[in-house]
Amino acid sequence: MDSSAYLKGVLGKVYHRKMSADKAFNELKNLPYENMGFARVDHHRAFRKGFGEVVYCENKTPEHVKKITTVLLKHKNPILLTRANKALYDFLKKTFPALKYNEPGRVIYLKKGGLKNKKTVLILTAGTNDIPVAEEARITLEVMGNRVKTIYDVGVAGIHRLLDKLPEISKANVIIVAAGMEGALGSVIGGLTDKPVIAVPTSVGYGSSFKGIAPLLTMMNSCSPGVVVVNIDNGFGAGYFASLINK
């Protein structure tokens, strides 16, 4: 939903006497947020942030997610449900058949509107094990209206696989790098481009990677300027931030 256009439309109808004040009040009464008892759905977020509320599904009951999704769809919001399993998708699909599911990224989603940001966000992964995090970022970006390109499995263990992709890297407007193990790929990309790089440490690796702590520290200590870091496995956060830069 284009929140600004929606609000202007309601106010315009009142101004031109095509809508009563009472009806306009009913349209807007839940605009700040809607208290559902177990949740307070933030209908004002699209005005503040340019994108509506996203639902983190872990530890939520299927019924709670269903009720929140119902409210979001009622307000014509795009749907982005992160950290969702296939069982939840199968449950929601019975009520909302238009929903789609990205299994690697564990994202249930429904796009609204077309391409808003024509510049490309490029997502790179060091290995195939990093793809789930990259896919969470990709779906987030696409639902937010971005053009996305992916290049997977180009880590430093076979750096020649990356070097022939330099023309594609140079064309991107923002770059996301997902890497586990020692997380070196973020610094490598940062040293090869003048574009902003968002590094995502993943929890891929043997014991001393400490479930993503090692690549997190590597990326935080990158000597390449222009690299910022999000939390471990936070593909959603990387995608959201990349979209803010891209627009």
Asked if 21 contacts 14 with a C-beta cutoff of 8 angstroms, the reply is yes
Predicted confidence at residue 31, as pLDDT, reads 66
Q: Are residues 77 and 121 in the same domain?
A: no
12 within a domain of the structure (yes/no): no
pTM: 0.85
pLDDT, residue 33, reads 67
CATH number at residue 135: 3.40.50.1970
In a domain, 27, yes or no: no
Domain coverage including residue 209: 117-246
Lowest average pLDDT, out of 47-51, 107-111, 185-189, goes to 47-51
> d(Cα 215, Cα 210) in Å, to the nearest integer?
9
Number of structural domains in the chain: 2
Residue 220 forms part of a structural domain? yes
Write down the pLDDT at residue 77: 85
- Rounded Cα gap, residues 148 and 123, in angstroms: 7
Query: For residue 21, is pLDDT > 60?
Result: yes
